[in-house]
Amino acid sequence: MKAILGLLAATLVAGAADAQPIKLGELNSYKVFPAFLEPYKMGMELARTEINASGGILGRPLEIVIRDDGGTPGDAVRVAEELLTREGVAALTGTFASNVGLAVSDFAKQRKTLFIAAEPLTDKIVWDNGNRYTFRLRASTYMQTAMLVPEALKAAKPRWAIVYPNYEYGQSATEAFKKLMAEKQPGVQFVAEQAPALGRIDAGAVVQAIEDAKPDAIFSSLFGPDLAKFVREGNLRGLFKNRPVINLLGGEPEYLDPLKDETPEGWIVTGYPWQSIQTPEHKRFHDAYQAKFKDYPRLGSVVGYTAIHSFAAAVKKAGSLDQEKMVDAMKGLQLSSPFGPITYRALDHQSTMGAYVGKLALKDGKGVMVDWSFADGAKFLPSDDAVMKLRPKE
């Protein structure tokens, strides 16, 4: 009898420890952008183990239900539906491309469900198309462009050429750059604009066209294969000789590492110098990641890791899985990230997560960022008034 009671007690205790997990639904375009999202997935996994090792959320373990969204808004919305209806997840997170992010954001609004958009960079997701239920972690296109503008001003060059992938991200980056530069350096000229289709740059001709315009400096928002082609072709043809080049995202390991010995030295970029960030937050993250996966973290790892911790922090703050309470908790939520403390602004639901701005250099045949400094996202946002004007009334 005693034995049976003991067994019963043991079961009850165990039952409490692995109580019904809290499910977080994550959807992303794993097959379309694997270079970013494989490390991202590992970052999420690290965050999950950390959270569960320290007792879970509200005493319940965290479970992340990961789904491939097929890379299209249509499929993503179906997957989001599946996460809500079948898996009964408490909230949604993830997405990469802006069109998918916006579609899921609008879906979240429709279904009154918290959505933490981890990666999509489009300004619209928090501004023009912002809504009560959507929060965004990454520093947006606008913010990262703004972080580079001081560097561009330091270069003090009158004639700029711009090259960008022809879709919303590249277009907004270009627009923001031109606007900010025109404000701060009157008389600045934009002498060439090249907008190759995403993933299909004709690098030889683009490099030549830029060269023909005889710019003093170049602003680029290329990434991935386009960036690699542009860099090699530009190096070959001497486009970058004596010309400052500024490249959004160019220091992200996902896009920098493939360049290897082709890395264009001296380019000013936003990115993630994982080798040399010595803050305690980052060291802890880096070491844990390295120990768990025997690999160094990429930027995706940081984003995935922080997105999951954001959710956990929000639920802890809300003390409940009620959507409205979680959303209210997200507003102004503060937490520590590998990049330091961040806040999800109540004003527009944008997190203040920053980025590193520095120069590219070659070290042992690999690209690294040097002379970098951390740009706090909070300092690179438009005025509150301007933001309020952009954001629809709730």
Partner 1 sequence: MTLAAFASYMLTGLAGASSLFLVAAGLSLIFGVTRVVNFAHGSFFMLGLYLAVTLAGVFGRTPLGFWGAVVCASLAVGAIGVVVERLILRPLYAAPELLQLLATFAVVLIVKDAALWIWGPEDLLGPRAPGLSSAVPVLGRSIPEYDLLLIALGPLVMAGLWLLLTRTRFGRLIRAATEDREMTAALGIDQARLFTLVFALGSALAGLGGALQLPREPANLSLDLSIVADAFVVVVLGGLGSLPGAFLASLLIAELKAFCIGLGFSKATLVIEFLVMAVVLVFRPHGLLGRPDPPARATEAEAGEPIPPLVWIPVALALAFPLLAGGYAVILAIDIVILALFAASLRWLIGPAGLVSFGHAAFFGLGAYAAAIAALKLGWPMAAALAAAPLVAAFGAFAFGLVAVRLSGVYLAMLSLAFAQIVWSLAFQWDALTGGSNGLVGIWPAAAVADKTRYYALVLGLAIAAWLLLGRIERGRLGYAIRAARDSQLRAEALGFDVPALRRIALVISGAVAGLAGGLFVYSKGSLSPETLAIPRSVDGLVMVLLGGLASPLGPLLGAGLFTWLQDEAARRIEFWRALVGFVILALVLFAPRGLAGLLRRPRA
Q: Which residues contact 34 (CB under 8 A, 6 or more apart)?
A: none
**How far apart are CB 77 and partner 1 at their closest, in Å?**
5
Record the tokens describing residue 259, joined without a space: 């360049």
Measured from the CB atom, the residue of 103 and 173 that comes closer to partner 1 is 103
Measured from the CB atom, the residue of 81 and 324 that comes closer to partner 1 is 81
Q: Does 2 bind partner 1 (CB under 8 A)?
A: no
Looking at 233, 312, 315, 330, which residue binds partner 1 (CB under 8 A)? Answer: 233
**How far apart are CB 233 and partner 1 at their closest, in Å?**
7
Name the residue with tokens 């992340």: 64
Three-class SS string for the chain? CHHHHHHHHHHHHHHHHCCCCEEEEEEECCCCCHHHHHHHHHHHHHHHHHHHHCCCECCECEEEEEEECCCCHHHHHHHHHHHHHCCCCCEEEECCCHHHHHHHHHHHHHCCCCEEECCCCCHHHCCCCCCCCEEECCCCHHHHHHHHHHHHHHHCCCEEEEECCCCHHHHHHHHHHHHHHHHHCCCCEEEEEECCCCCCCCHHHHHHHHHHCCCCEEEECCCHHHHHHHHHHHHHHCCCCCCCEEEEEEECHHHHHHHHHHCCCCCEEEECCCCCCCCHHHHHHHHHHHHHHCCCCCHHHHHHHHHHHHHHHHHHHHCCCCHHHHHHHHCCCEEEECCEEEEECCCCCEECCCEEEEEEEEECCEEEEEEEEEECHHHHCCCHHHHHHHCCCC
Looking at 21, 150, 204, 340, which residue binds partner 1 (CB under 8 A)? Answer: 204
Q: Does 206 bind partner 1 (CB under 8 A)?
A: yes
Looking at 86, 186, 365, 393, which residue binds partner 1 (CB under 8 A)? Answer: 86
Q: Does 68 bind partner 1 (CB under 8 A)?
A: yes
**How far apart are CB 367 and partner 1 at their closest, in Å?**
11
Q: Does 211 bind partner 1 (CB under 8 A)?
A: yes
**How far apart are CB 381 and partner 1 at their closest, in Å?**
20
Record the tokens describing residue 226, joined without a space: 């386009």
Looking at 6, 158, 238, 319, which residue binds partner 1 (CB under 8 A)? Answer: 238
Return the residues of window 87-126 that contact partner 1 according to CB under 8 A.
Answer: 98-99, 102-103, 105-107, 110, 122, 124
**Which range touches partner 1 (CB under 8 A), out of 200-208, 277-285, 326-334, 349-357?**
200-208
Return the residues of window 340-369 that contact partner 1 according to CB under 8 A.
Answer: none
**Can you give the C-alpha Rg of the chain in angstroms?**
22
**How far apart are CB 36 and partner 1 at their closest, in Å?**
8
Torsion of the alpha carbons at 18, 21, 27 and 32, rounded to the nearest 10:
10
Measured from the CB atom, the residue of 60 and 349 that comes closer to partner 1 is 349
- How many binding residues for partner 1 (CB under 8 A)? 66
Build a one-symbol-per-residue string for 147-176: x at contacts with partner 1 by CB under 8 A, - elsewhere: -------------------xxx--x-----
Measured from the CB atom, the residue of 83 and 268 that comes closer to partner 1 is 83
Q: Does 269 bind partner 1 (CB under 8 A)?
A: no
Torsion of the alpha carbons at 101, 107, 110 and 116, rounded to the nearest 10:
-50
Q: Does 254 bind partner 1 (CB under 8 A)?
A: yes
Q: Does 257 bind partner 1 (CB under 8 A)?
A: yes
Q: Does 205 bind partner 1 (CB under 8 A)?
A: yes
**Which range touches partner 1 (CB under 8 A), out of 75-83, 137-145, 321-329, 353-361?**
75-83
Binding residues for partner 1, rule: CB under 8 A, are 31-32, 34-35, 37-38, 67-68, 70-74, 77-78, 81-82, 85-86, 98-99, 102-103, 105-107, 110, 122, 124, 129, 166-168, 171, 192-197, 199-200, 202-206, 208-209, 211-212, 224-225, 228-229, 232-233, 236-238, 254, 257-260, 262
